[in-house]
Structure 1
Amino acid sequence: MRRVLQLAALAALSITAFAQSPKFRVLAFYSDTVEHDHVEFAHQAIRFYEGAAKHDGFEFTPTNDWNDLNQKKLADYQIVLWLDDFPHTPQQRAAFEQYMENGGGWLGFHIAAYNDKNTQWPWFVRFLGGGVFYGNNWPPLPATLTVDHPEHPVTRHLPANFLSPANEWYIWKPSPRENKDVKVLLTLASSNYPLGMKDILRGGDLPVMWTNTRYRMLYMNMGHGDKIFTSDIQNRMMEDAIVWIGQTKNAIRNASLEK
């Protein structure tokens, strides 16, 4: 009888441990020494994803030490977040490349994708789908966004169009949409043009959220200032995004799921 009770107790402990195991682990990088509006967003994003982690059963760890972007540390995590900053050293860049080329997951916000002629990181440009930063509106303004693929797990809870809170919107040349491996999920609606007061976006194709289907990755242009998390609609999308990346298998790199 004692043996039966011991086995039952062990089984109960195993079930409890399994139920409590995180579905996936997220390492979120941010900086406190960058532009104030980017710091503000990063801290709000950390609070938001800490809440999402409890709701969706994943583990969320923030760090402002970008030297944690190394092979040993990344091995323990299934997703890396960049909250309005990016790697600053060749060693950090190399570790991230290796991580993504071996099936790692990435979710980047706003300036996380910034690159220009001085960046000198050709792999990262290809990773983003080929788009290079070309310009932005100013000041930050709300904008209507159009859903390109309503069937996608990240956008399935969105209406066909919705008003996204005030943000600094980036435009890219060439448009990532021109890359056959890129799937654009959200686009700035043409009804927004002209957008801006000091710096004005007057037209053109402006993808706002996309994935390069060769990787487990998603980029969102949103991330400037303290208004980003004021939309319940957009918040649901941001939660769906991290769950999608966390639950997507490495096989996504063959693009069969995304085409």
Structure 2
Amino acid sequence: MYFPGKKTILISIIFLFYFISIKAQSTTPKFNVIAFYTAKNDKAHISFVHEANKWFSKMGTQYNFTYDSTTNWNNLTAKFLAHYQVVLFLDTRPEVPEQREAFKKYMDNGGAWMGFHFSGFALTPSTYPQNWDWYHTEFLGSGSYASNTWRPTSAILRVEDRKHPATKRLPETFKSAPNEWYKWTNDLRTNPNINILLSIDSTSFPLGTGPKLHEIWHSGYYPVVWTNKKYKMLYVNMGHNDIDYDNKTDKELSSTFDSEIQNKLIIDSLLWLGRGKK
């Protein structure tokens, strides 16, 4: 009968601990993501939020990060945010001064953020007035909402910066998923802190179907994805699905995650944000 020697046993134990360590590393989340959302009033925004929660959860399994979401904006505190490396705003923004201050400190201290579509909206007077200068003017740089296209339609998007980690896998131009596109009061090109990653390509025009004439764009320059060099952040104008408003069925006619190329942009943006502090 063979009895292994002490050296053989020791080597076996070392290999056992090695493989346990490798297994532990593969299951340990690379980073933690928390998404805040409201999901009220606009059916297209609600549609996006629901599918975003499902999609990001699936991506978390695939790319090894944890994904949590909440409608409780009171969780926007330093203590709560300390557990997360990336914050998402899926539709709206914080309204309470204490929440806003906690988010600002989180970003000032090297936190990471990605915002979608309506999270950048501000219009005075409205339910979401421009009453947060740091967020809309300094952080986003966009100022207030100026106008939008209608109905939600796809656009040909042009990559402005192909060296950024969020855009490295994208072609020079690609077709987006249907979206309602925003115009802003500020010209982001004049802001030295803003790095525009994607804009609407001129081949998209006319963009929108109306029925109102001002809802159809025929020319102009419209950034749709950008970063602020002072922060670890990225804003994405996508996040408004097409809904059957005309027949009042509320049927979802499109998905923000229909475009594989656009999905590469979103996941690569998130992975870039999750790599650590700026």
Q: Is 1:221 aligned to residue 233 of structure 2?
A: no
Matching residue within 203, 207, 222 for 1:191: 203
Q: Secondary structure at the match of 1:165?
A: coil
Q: Is 1:233 aligned to residue 249 of structure 2?
A: no
1:24 aligned residue: 31
Matching residue within 184, 192, 196 for 1:180: 192
The CA deviation string for residues 170-210 of structure 1, in whole angstroms up to 9 with x for no partner, is 01121222110111010011222332212223432210000
2:149 aligned residue: 137
- What's the CA shift for 1:250? 2.7
Q: Secondary structure at the match of 2:95?
A: coil
1:160 aligned residue: 172
Larger radius of gyration: 2
Answer whether contact 1:30 1:63 (CA < 8 A) is retained: yes
Percent identical pairs in the alignment equals 40
- What's the CA shift for 1:11? 5.2
CA distance in 2, matches of 1:155, 1:9: 41
- What's the CA shift for 1:168? 0.4
Answer whether contact 1:128 1:176 (CA < 8 A) is retained: no
CA distance in 2, matches of 1:75, 1:36: 32
Q: Secondary structure at the match of 2:233?
A: strand
Q: Secondary structure at the match of 1:111?
A: helix
CA distance in 2, matches of 1:34, 1:69: 22
CA distance in 2, matches of 1:112, 1:68: 17
Q: Is 1:68 aligned to residue 68 of structure 2?
A: no
- What's the CA shift for 1:130? 4.3
Higher strand share: 1
Query: What is the root-mean-square deviation of aligned Cα atoms in Å?
Result: 2.0
Gaps of 5+ in 2: 1-5, 242-253
After TM superposition, the structure 1 stretch with the greater mean CA deviation from structure 2, 113-122 or 86-95, is 113-122
CA distance in 1, matches of 2:46, 2:176: 20
Answer whether contact 2:139 2:228 (CA < 8 A) is retained: yes
TM-score (norm 2): 0.84
- What's the CA shift for 1:10? 5.2
CA distance in 2, matches of 1:103, 1:227: 32
CA distance in 2, matches of 1:139, 1:218: 25
